[in-house]
Structure 1
């Protein structure tokens, strides 16, 4: 791969921020400060805890993928008012699941994806790769938060502490693998005009697979408790 192009691509990804979510118990607020009836219902029920965490992840993802984030915010506020009218946990659980499904389905094509030139196609592919990076960052943050919380609460905290350290090591190794793998793809296509698009396609595919693995390994439960974030393959 040409050195200048590699540096430009690497700089684009290095600029991506980590989007941290809240605690694994209830991602959208601190249960130690619960005040309203609804907040206490969420904090006192494990399933609602997890659904609330899922909802926060689905909402952040929808904001990121939508070309009209203000509409997403307004609809979310309207949904919160509807949820607050629920009289019991059953009504709330139904409302959460319905809203999570709606938010997870929001995925607009980026504005830069309307062209047909090589530069425009590469720009479009880069934006999808950026979205995938931001989503992976959210899922990794949730996994780290879960392990951190379990280390605080477990009678023997060494296991989650060690797992958290190992997760960070594995993420660093995975990032090196992704770079090497997609560089190989770029080099294979280096004499063609689609080399940039092929590189971004590799980046997107490998990143989405990593996000699904993080979700499956760290954000689901062995029992019927809902996962901490929505299934990333469902949008």
Structure 2
């Protein structure tokens, strides 16, 4: 059999097909065979050559999504037509209105019940992601749009609370009070990110994907999920 001359292209096609199916059907209701059928001209063996299972595909999609988010933070940092506060609001606005990002966040949330995965995400949220927010907060401190005396702590709070506490609210009904609570806390320390428009977008964004609880329902075995 001829060797695939463009494995990165095949890998990207698999990721794109899986992302489409995860968005339409949800991670739990998508099988490896569904991905094979969606691609049309790849065997299941060819897909397993690149990914050992759909969990690995979701992990790669999550990594790709994180890279896009970091790129957005860098892009906004370079802009001179926005204040620091406006930059942070734009990050949040794009995050809660980006359907692809929200669907990946929904699918990945169920794995937070695993202590190792949870610890890894908590570490990333309070370091890598928070560092991006901190850069924009410092832009705001310099231009006067942000008055917080706790820029580093505010960045960590924004990252942790939005990505975990709000996104993984136990029920859709909990999303709005949690969002308003975060808005109040951040405003109290000089980071008034959430106006009414952004609160509404955040609530609708997370409610639309029906973000699962931190304690999800029991799911199928690995063999069932990869069938």
Please give the TM-score of this superposition, normalised by the length of structure 2: 0.36
More relative contact order in 1 or in 2 (CA 8 Å, sep 6+)? 1
TM-score when normalising by structure 1: 0.35
